[in-house]
Amino acid sequence: MEWIANPTVGDWLRERLDPRTGTMHAAVPHGFEAYARVFHRGFTRSLPGRAVPAPEDWLRMPDAEREGLLPDFVDAEVSWAETAAAFGTTMHALAQWHRLVRTPMDGDWRTRIAPDGREFDAPTEGELDPSLLPVVAEVLAAYTSTPDAGYAAIWEGWGNVVGHLGIPANPGLFGPAGGDDPHHQAMLGRSAHDPFNNVFRKPTWQEGLLPRDVSEGPRLELPDRPYVLFSAAPHVFADPDWVLGAPWRDLPSERDGHPPHAQSPNLIWPEDRAWVMVTEIEADSTVIAGSNELVRALCTDDRFEALPLREGSSLTWDADEVNR
């Protein structure tokens, strides 16, 4: 994968977007034969043979009893269909997670307790799980004449992907919190002010995961979303180890002992434009536009959860009319 300094190869996407419609086409291009929605996995926590205590009951438990329960918790990924079954709701292509888990008007949809006692946590937004991407990409690579040539783009706003000019935090003001971690200090420098000393301090370059020339380079500008664009063969993402070749791989975290990680691309498409994969930064699902055959293959693959969408579909917060 190599950075593309001239992002005009992505201009065709902008021409097929319409942010004024209130539909998925604010982020997903018009003009394809068919569309599929790939649902990001949720998470469930349970106690074998018994219900998970309600939050208020958990807080009232004696410490010893509460600690005694912790080793028995079982955490697992969960599909949207299984979630709907647990809450007695209906899974369908336009489903919204907060409606599947029967969230009251003033409730927190991110964590809900099902009638069977299991705790359900909402899917990750803005990212197709890096371990799930290879499975989806394997299908995608079979439906393009250019599996060895294509593009991938990542939103510039993720964490510390790009560097920036800024004023490091004043250690005297913020103390040891965050230690010497440069990304933590850069965050503090952007979010807090020292009126007595900042006037004498000059902005310096704060490193990101990508080199400075990439961080300061041109962006693929789509409605309300600037992306850093890379050349990327679609078949590369079918490799479970694709993270190791990602230019935005989080090497600082690895040096701290964490396993290899890279944010999944927000956009992927082959050179022949046979399809495009779009993961909008605030979405809990990924939309793929392509041929009827591709969408059929995606929606019949039992390794992940996908349903067909009609062109012009809305995936907004209140789009799930079935589960109202």
Of residues 81 and 51, more confidently modeled: 81
* 165 SS3 class: strand
CA distance 156 to 281: 11
Q: What is the CA radius of gyration of the chain?
A: 22
CA distance 270 to 235: 9
Beta bridge partners of 18: none
Question: Among candidates 152, 125, 295, which has minimal Cα distance to 233?
Answer: 152
Confidence band for 106, pLDDT divided at 50, 70 and 90:
confident
Q: What is the identity of the amino acid at 52? A: V
Asked if 36 and 139 count as a contact pair (C-beta separation under 8 A), the reply is no
Task: State the pTM of this model.
Answer: 0.81
Task: Determine what percent of the chain is predicted with pLDDT higher than 90.
Answer: 62
Tokens standing for residue 175: 């103390």
Question: Among candidates 248, 13, 38, 238, which has minimal Cα distance to 154?
Answer: 248
Asked if 264 and 279 count as a contact pair (C-beta separation under 8 A), the reply is yes
Q: Which residue has the tokens 């290879």?
A: 134
Q: Taking 90 as the threshold, does the pLDDT of residue 203 lie above it?
A: no
Tell me the average pLDDT across 183-205.
Answer: 55
CA distance 316 to 314: 6
Asked if 141 and 300 count as a contact pair (C-beta separation under 8 A), the reply is no
Asked if 153 and 228 count as a contact pair (C-beta separation under 8 A), the reply is yes
pLDDT for 171: 41
Sorted by where each begins, the domain ranges of the chain are 2-39+126-161+211-309, 42-121, 164-206
